[in-house]
């Protein structure tokens, strides 16, 4: 058990399980993008740790870049997606891979896909470390999913609770 601010969390996915799964996804991506040299775009802040590890197991030449959006305050989604910062990279005719930490309602990903589509890329695929299928409200195609998890709040490995917990190397789940 750990405490992050006022909440108690229990250990849910340990670091070795995360690393194993991240390597599997990296291998699959390397296979699928052979000869394609993708632009890999991580969504800050949450995806920084996942993309850091994932990029190390991607063996094809790739550009790595980050953008920033935010739709979350505290524990529940505000339902509003704010502006996307940093989508300046030239994406025309490129193979774009969007990397998220977690897809919850799917709103952020839908919004992001809309914006990326406007840049006329050759292809767009999505990868998320975590997915809460029971929370999904917006139809979105997830090409690579690390773990499907129940609709319970989690922190660690890039994910935060009110700004804290991102640096925890494992994933913890809210108790109760």
Q: Give contact residues for ligand IMP (rule: CB under 6 A).
A: 46, 71-72, 77, 100-108, 153-155, 159-160
Active site residue 104: yes
Pick between residue 61 and residue 74 the one whose CB is nearest to ligand IMP.
Answer: 74
Active site residue: 53, 101, 104, 160, which one?
104
Pick between residue 53 and residue 100 the one whose CB is nearest to ligand IMP.
Answer: 100
Under a CB-based contact definition with an 8 Å cutoff, are residues 131 and 74 in contact? no
Smallest distance from the beta carbon of 88 to ligand IMP, in angstroms? 21
Provide the greatest CA pair distance for the chain.
Answer: 48
Smallest distance from the beta carbon of 20 to ligand IMP, in angstroms? 21
Under a CB-based contact definition with an 8 Å cutoff, are residues 19 and 53 in contact? yes
Pick between residue 57 and residue 71 the one whose CB is nearest to ligand IMP.
Answer: 71
Smallest distance from the beta carbon of 165 to ligand IMP, in angstroms? 8
Q: Which tokens in the block code for residue 95? A: 């193979």
Active site amino acids: 104
């Amino acid at each position: 058990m750990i405490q992050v601010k006022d909440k108690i969390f229990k250990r849910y996915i340990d670091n070795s399980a995360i690393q194993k799964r991240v390597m599997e996804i990296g291998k699959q991506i390397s296979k699928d993008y052979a000869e394609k040299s993708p632009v890999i775009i991580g969504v800050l802040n949450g995806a920084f740790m996942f993309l850091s590890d994932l990029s190390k197991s991607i063996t094809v030449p790739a550009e790595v870049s980050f953008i920033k959006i935010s739709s979350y305050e505290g524990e529940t989604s505000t339902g509003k997606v704010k502006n996307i910062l940093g989508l300046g990279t030239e994406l025309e005719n490129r193979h774009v891979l969007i990397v998220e930490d977690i897809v919850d309602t799917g709103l952020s990903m839908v919004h992001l896909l809309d914006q990326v589509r406007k840049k006329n890329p050759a292809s767009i695929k999505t990868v998320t470390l975590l997915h809460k299928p029971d929370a999904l409200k917006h139809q979105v195609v997830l090409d690579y999913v690390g773990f499907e998890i129940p609709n319970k709040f989690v922190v660690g490995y890039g994910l935060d609770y009110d700004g804290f917990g991102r640096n925890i190397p494992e994933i913890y789940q809210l108790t109760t």
